[in-house]
Structure 1
Amino acid sequence: MLAIIIPYYKRTFFEATLQSLAAQTCKDFKVYIGNDASTEDPADLLQHFQGQFDFVYRCFETNLGGVSLTQQWERCIALSANEPWLMILGDDDLLGEKVVEAFYKNLEEIEQIGCNVVRFATQIIDGEGRSISEVYEHSKLEKATDAFWRKFKGETRSSLSEYVFSRVAYSKYGFKDYPLAWYSDDMAWLEFADKNPIFSINSVLFYIRMSSASISGKIDNLENKRLASNVFYEDISNDFLSFFDKKQCLKLIAKLEQQFFKRKQRSLFFKIMKYHLKYTDLTNLVKFFRRIYYN
């Protein structure tokens, strides 16, 4: 069975999210809603949807998302039973009416291949529910590092909601606790895939809302996003450079160089030097030293 986890905080678009669950053509899922001590009580909305799909609701006494969004995800997952597949659904995102049906239609093949991560085609909507982007589709089977590289180059998009992942993979790796959980989902798919391909379902759509109420839509989180980016790219370099070719490694190492010239940390200098020696060549290491000299 599929467990759909909703870390709830804002009511603004929550009714539309619940309606998209009630409209599913396949009801073989259970929803677990964890209220992060929100001041916007959703109890009356949930009462309206009672009996339309199976759900469990828990209101936590303390706000955790303001301290660590990934820990809020994790305590909401802890509400679930032993469902083998998990989805973390934003309280403002929408499922196309056949998302769950399409998941089960492909499940036998997903399990035969050994995929731990499944994703759906997506389209971005605004606060009024209007489409504001193209439809983003993917290859049916794609290495997680290739998927990340496409996003790195701006050729696609990705966020937490449109993924389904195995409980086994989640239990093995958990989520990296970056500020605002920025890049935490990207790292999750790299780790959860566990060297197996990501399985994509393009026959149905997930609608991802972009508004001033969402983290992605806010402009006052720039410093925390920058900090998250710094740690994420250090982790990428530590754990995944061997999966990229030389040109890709140079671009990823360049992200660390940008940090180095801003932070002037000796430890980062030695890491960059090591990565050039291991994944690029001596010429690029010399160029790095030259950039240090001129800066």
Structure 2
Amino acid sequence: MIAIIIPYYKPTYFKITLDSLANQSVKRFKVYIGNDASPSGPESLLEGYLNKFDFVYKKFENNLGQKSLVKQWERCIALSANEEWMMLLGDDDYLSANYIEEFYKQIEEIKSSKVNVVRFATQVEKMDIEPPKVFTHPKMELSTDSFYRNIFQSSRSSLSEHLFKRSAYMKHGFRDFPLAWGADDFAWLDFTEFNNIYTINEAVARIRISSESISRKGYLENQKREAKYACFSLIINGYIEKFKKEQHYSLYRYYENLVYSSNNISFRFWLLLSKFYLLNKDILKFFKFQRRIFVYKYVRPYQNIKNNFLFYLLF
């Protein structure tokens, strides 16, 4: 069986989510809905689905998502039973009618592949943009390659289109980054233990980006930046050797830019990247890095002071 776990807060598109579950061609799943003390509860809406699929509903008395989305995910997962496979479905995302059917069609191959994470094709639905592109993936792909492609925008990834084994979740859990930003991406590395993800491209998860979505541009960008920095600090300092050698330079440069944008320049950071360039015998890149450090650490603050001084003189 599959546990479909929905951390609920927003009512706007929730009926579409529920309809997509009611319309599944195979009903071998159970739904667990955890209401994060939303001011707009779904109780009356859920009454219409009592005989359409099996579900458990729980209203939590305190809002946890504002403090930690990961903690809200965890208490919603705790509602579930002992299903071997789980997924966390957004309350505004929805599934193609063959979603569960395709999983069971390929279950023997999934078992023989010994994977802990299964993902589906996706469509991202944004306001005033259609028709959305369908994102597909290699049938089998290292989670590190998937992470790399996602970071450098030749792919995409989100929480809703993934199924994962309960045993992998119980062993590793989700990293509690701010806004849970990147927590799912890191989970696929942890849950697979840096091994393969299995993909089902024959069914589609439809991911909605709206004016209510955390994913929308311009929303809490400082916290997202903080989360990206925390995520990449772990990658660079603890897991870089899990990635292919030819991916290292791009990952280090991405991390470097996050350090600058987060104003987290430190001696340890300087030593880490200096060592990387020297060990790779790339003297030119080493000196370019020293120049960048000098500019960001000393020249740019001076330029800001100078600009402010001119501003007061002129105005």
Deviation at 1:149, TM superposition (A): 1.4
After TM superposition, the score normalised by the length of structure 2 is 0.88
The runs of 5 or more residues in structure 1 that have no matched partner are none
Report the 3-state secondary structure (helix = DSSP H, G, I; strand = E; otherwise coil) of the residue aligned with 1:10: coil
Where do 1:126-275 residues align within 5 Å? 126=126, 131-261=130-260, 262-275=263-276
Tell me which residue corresponds to 2:11.
Answer: 11
After TM superposition, the score normalised by the length of structure 1 is 0.94
The answer to whether the 8 Å contact 1:126/1:132 transfers is no
Tell me which residue corresponds to 1:292.
Answer: 293
Counterpart CA distance in 1 for 2:281 and 2:104 is 47
Structure number, greater radius of gyration: 2
Deviation at 1:224, TM superposition (A): 0.6
Cα 1:106–1:15 change in 2 (3 A) is same
Deviation at 1:256, TM superposition (A): 2.7
Report the 3-state secondary structure (helix = DSSP H, G, I; strand = E; otherwise coil) of the residue aligned with 1:176: coil
Deviation at 1:274, TM superposition (A): 4.4
Cα 1:294–1:41 change in 2 (3 A) is closer
Tell me which residue corresponds to 2:47.
Answer: 47
Tell me which residue corresponds to 2:83.
Answer: 83
Tell me which residue corresponds to 2:123.
Answer: 123
The runs of 5 or more residues in structure 2 that have no matched partner are 297-315
Report the 3-state secondary structure (helix = DSSP H, G, I; strand = E; otherwise coil) of the residue aligned with 2:210: coil
Cα 1:245–1:11 change in 2 (3 A) is same
Counterpart CA distance in 2 for 1:127 and 1:42 is 24
One-letter code aligned to 2:148: W
Counterpart CA distance in 2 for 1:58 and 1:281 is 58
One-letter code aligned to 2:205: F
Counterpart CA distance in 1 for 2:171 and 2:286 is 36
One-letter code aligned to 1:204: A
Cα 1:195–1:254 change in 2 (3 A) is closer
Counterpart CA distance in 1 for 2:133 and 2:7 is 27
Counterpart CA distance in 1 for 2:45 and 2:75 is 22
Where do 1:82-101 residues align within 5 Å? 82-101=82-101
The answer to whether the 8 Å contact 1:36/1:59 transfers is yes
Counterpart CA distance in 2 for 1:273 and 1:136 is 37
| Same amino acid, percent of matched pairs | 47
Deviation at 1:293, TM superposition (A): 3.6
One-letter code aligned to 1:248: Q
Matched, 1:107 2:100: no
Report the 3-state secondary structure (helix = DSSP H, G, I; strand = E; otherwise coil) of the residue aligned with 1:240: helix
Report the 3-state secondary structure (helix = DSSP H, G, I; strand = E; otherwise coil) of the residue aligned with 1:81: coil
Cα 1:24–1:131 change in 2 (3 A) is farther
Cα 1:131–1:26 change in 2 (3 A) is farther
Matched, 1:35 2:47: no
Tell me which residue corresponds to 2:300.
Answer: none
The answer to whether the 8 Å contact 1:114/1:196 transfers is no
Counterpart CA distance in 1 for 2:287 and 2:217 is 40
RMSD between superposed Cα atoms in Å: 1.8
Deviation at 1:234, TM superposition (A): 0.7
Partner deviation per Cα, 1:164-195 (whole Å, 9 max, x = no partner): 00011111110011111111111011111123
One-letter code aligned to 1:123: Q
Counterpart CA distance in 1 for 2:94 and 2:110 is 23
Partner deviation per Cα, 1:2-31 (whole Å, 9 max, x = no partner): 000000001000011000000001100000
One-letter code aligned to 1:271: L
The answer to whether the 8 Å contact 1:212/1:218 transfers is no
Deviation at 1:263, TM superposition (A): 2.6
- Runs of 4+ in structure 1 deviating by more than 6 angstroms, as ranges, are none
